[in-house]
């Protein structure tokens, strides 16, 4: 199923700027929508919306808790990445995820790569 529809939504200034930039390409069938390039907050969020509309969203980690040593939820790490953090060390400083045994750091790296479109 690939019905045509128009994307509508709300968000911060950077999201609006990105949507405005890509607006002409966000009409019709989602399968034809082009993924925005760039690692800014707006591009990261718009990529998620488009991939979900295309049924291609495949977040790399499905568990609720990412860091078991520090009990940091996956959602907390993902939120920091969506807001622009793109280094594992920086995620660790901001969330404490990865500051124990370190086995969750590759997962954080995967989330960063996925969110940044790498």
* Binding site residues, ligand FES, CB under 6 A: 67-70, 97-104
Query: Please, what is the minimum distance in Å from the beta carbon of residue 44 to ligand FES?
Result: 23
Which residues are within 8 A (CB) of 40 and not within 5 positions of it... i.e. 6 or more apart?
14, 18, 84
Query: Please, what is the minimum distance in Å from the beta carbon of residue 18 to ligand FES?
Result: 32
The H or E element that residue 72 is part of is: strand 72-73
- Whose Cβ is closer to ligand FES: residue 45's or residue 67's? 67
- Whose Cβ is closer to ligand FES: residue 20's or residue 79's? 79
Query: Please, what is the minimum distance in Å from the beta carbon of residue 109 to ligand FES?
Result: 12
- Per-residue exposure over 30-62, b if at least 16 CB sit within 10 Å of its own CB, e if not: beebeebeeeebbbbbbbbbbbebeeeeeeeee
- Whose Cβ is closer to ligand FES: residue 30's or residue 98's? 98
Whole-number Å distance between alpha carbons of 76 and 92:
11
Query: Please, what is the minimum distance in Å from the beta carbon of residue 95 to ligand FES?
Result: 10
């Amino acid at each position: 199923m690939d019905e045509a529809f128009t994307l509508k939504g709300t968000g911060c200034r950077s999201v609006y700027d990105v949507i405005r930039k890509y607006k002409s390409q966000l009409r019709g069938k989602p399968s034809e929508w082009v993924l925005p390039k760039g690692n800014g907050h707006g591009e990261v969020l718009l990529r998620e919306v488009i991939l979900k509309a295309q049924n291609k969203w495949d977040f790399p980690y499905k568990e609720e808790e990412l860091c078991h040593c520090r009990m940091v939820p996956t959602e907390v790490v993902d939120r920091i990445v969506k807001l622009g953090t793109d280094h594992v060390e920086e995620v660790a400083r901001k969330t404490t995820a990865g500051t124990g045994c370190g086995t969750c750091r590759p997962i954080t790296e995967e989330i960063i790569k996925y969110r940044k479109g790498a």
